[in-house]
Structure 1
Amino acid sequence: MTNTAVNSPNVLDASAAVRRVTMLAGSYAAVSVTTVTALAAAGASAAQPVWIRLGIVAVSSLVLVALTLRAARGSSGAYRRVRIVSTVMLAATVVIVALPGMFPVWMRLEQAACALLLAGVALIAHGRTLRTHFAK
């Protein structure tokens, strides 16, 4: 016997959307943490604002991953936080990329990659499928 509520198209669509959000958030965390790790391992002497920004990005990326995992288990509160964190971090990242001369070119490119991943998270998280799913 099949449970039609569990196998309905809306639940399957929401499940796929949550998987995509989790995958994008994980990729964002991988890029962020790898950048900090590589910079530290290379013994690079980056300016203090670079270290601060990269540290904030790495920590927020890990928080976003934790929230997406909780949302995947059905937490509507975690889902709301995914929407908020992804939107705020996307806005902050776009500002970093857009400001000329404030950060090195390599960092602006890395942040642009992060912005693309965050845009995917934010778009899917704010989409109708997940809004409907978590409104229940």
Structure 2
Amino acid sequence: MTRRGLGDRLEPLFRRLDRIAGGRTAAYTIPEEMREHPSTRRAFVAIAWLLAVEVLLGVGAVVVVIVLTARGSTVPWAVWMRSGVVLAITVTLFYFAWRAQRGYYWAYSRLKLFSKIFPVVTLVIAAIPGLYPLWMVTEQIVFSLILIGVSDYLSSDHMRAAFPKPS
């Protein structure tokens, strides 16, 4: 009898999530030789580190909001909302990165798209005068720069060749 890890036991659930997120291309995966290629593996290691920094940034923002509130400061609703949403987005991006690393084209596609869109949206919102305190505007700029780094890895010649669009 072989022991299955938690990930293997949860794989049916992940495939259902993939079907929702990936649509008709949910089952399409890239060839194993491209998935295991050293350049692909290095790119996903770098992406995982960048997203880990994003999670730390998101957790840090939530902690700052909680501490400010506990000390009696009035924290605007927009700051609370943004802190929670960014943390949720980052966790979602981690899921996409994990599935893309396993070869799923849909996840690579979503991760690439969101790593290009979120920085633009974040920077536009950060530019609205008075919406966020300076510390959060700074956090949004750092968040955007890190996601631009993720996008850069995903848009490399090798990664585009490794993840051809399904026909």
TM-score interval w.r.t. the shorter chain? 0.7 to 0.9
Is 1:93 aligned to 2:122, yes or no? yes
**Percent identity over paired residues:** 28
For the aligned residue pairs, the C-alpha RMSD in angstroms reads 2.1
Question: Partners of 2:150 and 2:103 in 1: how far apart?
Answer: 17
1:7-18 → structure 2 map (5 Å cutoff): 11-18=37-44
Distance apart, 1:41 and its partner CA: 4.1
Offset from partner CA, 1:105-135 (integer Å, 9 cap, x none): 0100111111111110111112222111111
Is 1:39 aligned to 2:65, yes or no? yes
TM-score by length of 2: 0.70
Partner of 2:131: 102
Is 1:21 aligned to 2:21, yes or no? no
Q: Which of 85, 100, 113 is equivalent to 1:56? A: 85
Distance apart, 1:13 and its partner CA: 1.2
Unaligned stretches of 5+ residues in structure 2: 1-31
Offset from partner CA, 1:26-85 (integer Å, 9 cap, x none): 211221122113322442531001111121111001100111111111111111110122
Q: Which of 81, 102, 107 is equivalent to 1:73? A: 102
Q: Would you say the 8 A contact 2:112–2:155 is kept in 1?
A: yes
Question: Partners of 2:109 and 2:77 in 1: how far apart?
Answer: 32
After TM superposition, where is structure 1 displaced by more than 4 Å over at least 4 residues in a row? none
Question: Partners of 2:147 and 2:90 in 1: how far apart?
Answer: 9
Question: Partners of 1:100 and 1:123 in 2: how far apart?
Answer: 29
The SS at the match of 2:37 is: helix
Whichever residue aligns with residue 60 of structure 1, its letter is: I
TM-score by length of 1: 0.84
Distance apart, 1:101 and its partner CA: 2.3
Whose radius of gyration is greater, 1 or 2?
2
The SS at the match of 1:135 is: coil
Count residues in correspondence.
130
Partner of 1:127: 156
Question: Partners of 2:38 and 2:112 in 1: how far apart?
Answer: 20
Distance apart, 1:15 and its partner CA: 1.4
The SS at the match of 1:93 is: helix
